[in-house]
Structure 1
Amino acid sequence: MRDAPILLVEDNPDDITLTLRAFAKNGVGNEIVVLTDGELLLTRLLPADGTSPLRPAIILMDIHLPKFSGLELLQRIRSDERTRYVPVIMLTTSTEERDVVASYQLGANSFVCKPVAYDEFLRTVRTLSAYWLDINKRCPSSECPP
């Protein structure tokens, strides 16, 4: 799904820069929309003002965010018909088992710990983008709302 944007929900400026650089180095041409808190995500995904919602290919989301945690956001995303089937990958520094379990219980499609080493992070982004943008077959829009 190389024509839809990727949402990166991250509040750490260094992680944002690293992730954008990794996508660029891996030749990912999708627009990357960076949102730095949960309120911004909800405004773009589930607008209450009647504007068209953003339809991302995937959402990469940290767990520790201002205003709403990634887990709270995941619950909201999965509870709304407009976003229920959007792939959500928890991309976080957390290695806490409770975060992994809660993420999957709330409907995360994947849980990925951010590698510390830059080369490992590049490989992780390459693998994520190849799988979620090229290999994975999404539910047809006639069966699953976009």
Structure 2
Amino acid sequence: MNLSYDAWGAGLAARRILLVEDNPDDQLLVLRALKKNHMDSEVTVVDDGVKALEYLFAEGKYRDRAAETLPMLMLLDIKLPRLDGRDVLRQLRADRRTRHLPVVVMTSSSEEADIRKSYELGANSYIRKPVDSDQFTSTVTQLGHYWLNLNQSPYA
């Protein structure tokens, strides 16, 4: 089900997730956790901030993607090559089409400055990646369940 533009901006696609993560091991852990819990229907993985913005704004290699359909959730690492997660957040929140896109910062940093800055820039949630793979899976399961099943989007 694709939702079209409305008063809030761009529409969200049901259960579509954009994972912005440069660590292949973490990518795999997230994908496995989503698959295990049947939340992997449409996950796009990009490994840097530039690709994330290109995907969201249907530019570059994603220019054939329907720009009006956004993911239902974005999982965003902070420390990314080319353009870090803070800069991605800054650009998302500055554009009316992506201003309300749910963004969960999922990173290894527990630095207070990173947490504070992420929220200042408009993150909806900040989660420190657990080191233990079982805890990592549990964390992804819980956040997926909340954002994909329980959360009420302004786009709906």
Q: TM (normalized to structure 2)? A: 0.84
**C-alpha separation in 2, matches of 1:78 and 1:85:** 7
**C-alpha separation in 1, matches of 2:36 and 2:13:** 16
Which residues in structure 2 correspond to 1:1-80 (within 5 Å)? Answer: 3-47=14-58, 51=64, 52-53=66-67, 54-80=69-95
- The residue aligned with 1:114 is 129
- Structure 1's 57 and 124: CA in aligned 2 closer, same or farther, altered over 3 A? same
Query: What letter is aligned with 1:96?
Result: E
Following superposition, which runs of at least 4 residues in structure 1 exceed 2 angstroms of deviation? 1-4, 47-52
- The residue aligned with 2:117 is 102
Q: 2:102 aligns with which of 81, 87, 90?
A: 87
Query: What letter is aligned with 2:39?
Result: V
Farther off after superposition, 58-67 or 28-37: 28-37
- The residue aligned with 1:144 is none
Farther off after superposition, 18-27 or 34-43: 18-27
Contact 2:13–2:71 (8 Å) recurs in 1: no
Q: 1:127 aligns with which of 142, 149, 152?
A: 142
Instruction: Look up the SS of the partner of 1:63 in the other structure.
Output: coil
Shift of 1:140: 3.3
Contact 1:100–1:111 (8 Å) recurs in 2: yes
% identical equivalent positions: 43
Contact 1:89–1:110 (8 Å) recurs in 2: yes
The answer for unaligned runs of 5 or more in structure 2 is: 1-11
Q: TM (normalized to structure 1)? A: 0.89
Question: For this pair of structures, how many residues does the alignment match?
Answer: 141
**C-alpha separation in 2, matches of 1:119 and 1:26:** 14
